[in-house]
């Protein structure tokens, strides 16, 4: 098992975030079940800290919620316009001015962005509500395994806001522009069956089977060599980002040469 990484335990406790390390696997649990794992700026700071300090030996990250929900989105206290329990309200963003506000949002976004880095595989284990920031957290992961009671909803526009934690790009990639626009603008809930049908969820299982299904997937993606997984994810990300055919072919050639070089070195170690 890898040595524990020096992540700020006090920050995780304040944020209601738990981290469990088990060899090449890390499990992040949003642990505020009394408020359906609603998120605050401390949540995003904790996620950002984990992403910055996880050991390179960690190859799979599972993100889940404690209790009956993945995450019901932003803690409603953030809408009061005043600081609550040390957490800045949304008004703090505008109080900082355009540059300061943008920088603050960028810090929030970093808590989600690292989950899309091809250096490791990320899996969201979703049950119950995945609303707003909760939906965007699930979208930040490579895979979404959902329980049959899962409900996805992008609620920001109904609050006069926009999704700003990196969720718009993966949503469009997964379901297309028109369907993404309809989901965002209506704020309707997408149940597990529809999520699987339109490509939001990779798999849907009964709630009692969710942990086992996630374990099976994590085990499966750990079987290939780490370099092969990282290179493949990077190639798929490049394709999703709109690489031209020639750019993608070049990237494939370069990646394969790196793989062949590593495999040759392993087969013929220096004496």
What is the average per-residue pLDDT within 170-183?
Answer: 96
Residue 170's H or E segment, with its range, is helix 168-175
Q: Where are the beta strands (DSSP E) in the chain?
A: 17-22, 25-30, 60-65, 121-126, 129-131, 143-147, 151-153, 190-191, 203-205
| Whether 215 and 109 share a structural domain | yes
In a domain, 2, yes or no: no
pLDDT of res. 84: 52
Helical axes 177-186 vs 168-175, angle rounded to 10°? 130
In a domain, 52, yes or no: yes
Q: What CATH code is carried by the domain that includes residue 123?
A: 3.90.226.10
In a domain, 112, yes or no: yes
In a domain, 33, yes or no: yes
pLDDT at 81 over 90: no
| Whether 197 and 258 share a structural domain | no
pLDDT at 107 over 60: yes
What is the average per-residue pLDDT within 210-222?
Answer: 97
- Predicted TM-score (pTM) of the model is 0.92
Q: What is the mean pLDDT of the chain?
A: 93
pLDDT at 91 over 90: no
Radius of gyration of the chain (CA): 19
**Residue with more model confidence, 17 or 79:** 17
pLDDT at 3 over 50: no
DSSP 72-110: --B-GGGGGSS-BTTBPPTHHHHHTHHHHHHHHHHHHHH
pLDDT of res. 251: 95
| Whether 231 and 172 share a structural domain | no
Query: Do the Cβ atoms of 50 and 28 come closer than 8 Å?
Result: yes
| Whether 64 and 160 share a structural domain | yes
DSSP 3: P
Please report, for residues 59, 122, 144, 262, the alpha-carbon distance to residue 224 in angstroms, rounded to integers and kept in the order given: 11, 15, 20, 14
| Whether 215 and 261 share a structural domain | no
pLDDT at 216 over 60: yes
What is the average per-residue pLDDT within 188-200?
Answer: 98
**Residue with more model confidence, 8 or 177:** 177
| Whether 100 and 165 share a structural domain | yes
pLDDT at 83 over 60: no
pLDDT at 7 over 90: no
In a domain, 4, yes or no: no
In a domain, 70, yes or no: yes
| Whether 237 and 218 share a structural domain | no
| Whether 193 and 80 share a structural domain | yes
| Whether 160 and 241 share a structural domain | no
Q: Tell me how many domains the chain contains.
A: 2
pLDDT of res. 4: 46
pLDDT of res. 193: 98
| Whether 169 and 35 share a structural domain | yes
Cα(210)–Cα(220) distance, integer angstroms? 15
| Whether 52 and 82 share a structural domain | yes
**Which residue range(s) make up the domain with 253?**
226-267
| Whether 208 and 250 share a structural domain | no
């Amino acid at each position: 098992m890898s040595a524990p990484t020096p992540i700020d335990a006090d920050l995780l406790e304040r944020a209601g975030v738990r981290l469990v390390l088990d060899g090449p696997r890390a499990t992040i649990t949003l642990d505020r079940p009394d408020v359906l794992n609603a998120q605050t700026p401390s949540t995003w700071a904790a996620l950002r800290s984990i992403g910055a300090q996880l050991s390179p030996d960690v190859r799979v990250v599972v993100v889940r919620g404690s209790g009956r929900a993945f995450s019901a989105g932003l803690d409603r206290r953030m809408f009061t316009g005043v600081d609550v329990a040390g957490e800045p309200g949304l008004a703090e963003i505008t109080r900082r001015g355009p540059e300061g506000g943008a920088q603050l949002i960028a810090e929030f976004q970093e808590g989600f962005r690292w989950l899309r880095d091809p250096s490791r595989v990320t899996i969201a284990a979703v049950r119950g509500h995945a609303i707003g920031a909760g939906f965007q957290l699930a979208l930040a992961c490579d895979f979404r395994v959902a329980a049959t009671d899962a409900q996805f909803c992008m609620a920001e526009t109904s609050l006069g806001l926009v999704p700003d934690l990196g969720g718009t790009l993966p949503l469009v990639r997964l379901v297309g522009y028109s369907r993404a626009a309809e989901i965002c603008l209506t704020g309707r809930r997408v149940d597990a069956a529809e999520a699987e049908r339109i490509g939001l969820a990779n798999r849907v299982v009964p709630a009692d089977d969710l942990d086992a299904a996630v374990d099976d997937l994590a085990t499966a993606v750990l079987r290939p060599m780490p370099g092969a997984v990282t290179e493949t994810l990077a190639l798929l990300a490049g394709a999703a980002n709109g690489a031209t055919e020639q750019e993608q072919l070049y990237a494939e050639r370069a990646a394969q040469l790196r793989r062949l070089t590593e495999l040759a070195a392993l087969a013929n170690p220096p004496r």
